[in-house]
Amino acid sequence: MKEKIILKSTELFLNLGFKSVTMDDIASEMGISKKTIYVHFPNKTKLVEVTTMHLFELISHGIDCICALDKNPIEELYDIKRFVMDHLKGEKSSPQYQLKKYYPKIYTSLKQKQFEVMHECVNENLSRGINQGLYRDTINIEFITRIYFNSMLAIKDTDLFPLKIFSMNMLMENYLEYHLRGICTEKGIKILNQFITNKQS
């Protein structure tokens, strides 16, 4: 039952937001009593924490699997973006931003874990891209890694990028191209242009 509650809560939080969804909503959706949820989770904050970490572990594992395929570094970034968007349901409710606003302790803990995973992944991606002649060998890997991570967080700020104007998919697509055009060599730009053309056709 605990696993079912986590899965249903994750789905509701992603679609409607952490703030909007109540314990009553979850119980109603599952056809169970609120008491049953409280047997496994003492309060909503604990439930938010567990579902957040569950989703984080799921996405981290998926990213590890994509990185293990040792693909072309440019293609790898697009595959990761696609995988993350699929699992975050397009982030219609901007969950990360809501988490920061209403559950700051959980957000801070999650951000640290995300940084550790992304730091390793992006570092590895940049190193391989340089070795394959796709990224410029003059870039500062540590600087780019941190800028990449912070920019990914920034585009999820719905005050800065209102969802009425920018869909999360559009933001991710635009940011990824922006990032790659800043670090690619001529060889890398050719592959990037080809990749974008193929996706549009």
Tell whether the torsion through CA atoms of 154, 52, 68 and 143 is positive or negative: positive
Residue 1 confidence (pLDDT) above 70:
yes
The topology under which CATH files domain 49-200 is: Tetracycline Repressor; domain 2 (1.10.357)
Distance CA 60, CA 63 (A): 5
- For residue 33, the 8-state DSSP code is -
Domain residues of the chain, as ranges? 49-200
Quote the pLDDT of residue 95. Answer: 76
pLDDT-wise least confident of 85-89, 117-121, 137-141: 85-89
Torsion of CA 59, 70, 183, 188, to 10 degrees: -130
Beta-bridge mates of residue 135: 184
Mean pLDDT confidence for 120-147: 96
CA distances, 191 to each of 187, 196, 198 (Å): 7, 9, 10
The residues with which 184 forms a beta bridge, in sequence order, are 135
Q: Hey, which bits of the chain come out as E strands?
A: none
Q: What's the CA gap between 105 and 99, in Å, rounded?
A: 9
Q: What is the pLDDT of residue 158?
A: 83
Between 16 and 40, the more confident residue is: 40
Give pLDDT, residue 159. 86
**CA–CA dist 129, 131 (Å, integer):** 6
Mean pLDDT of the residues in the chain: 91
Note the residue count of the chain: 201
> What's the whole-model pTM score?
0.85
Residue 198 pLDDT class (50, 70, 90 cuts):
confident
Query: What's the rounded Cα separation, in Å, for the pair 84 and 168?
Result: 11
**Is 60 exceeded by the pLDDT of residue 175?**
yes
Task: Say how far apart CA 197 and CA 201 lie, in whole Å.
Answer: 6
Q: What integer pLDDT is reported at residue 85 of this predicted model?
A: 84
* Percent of the chain scoring above 70 in pLDDT: 96
Radius of gyration of the chain from Cα atoms? 19
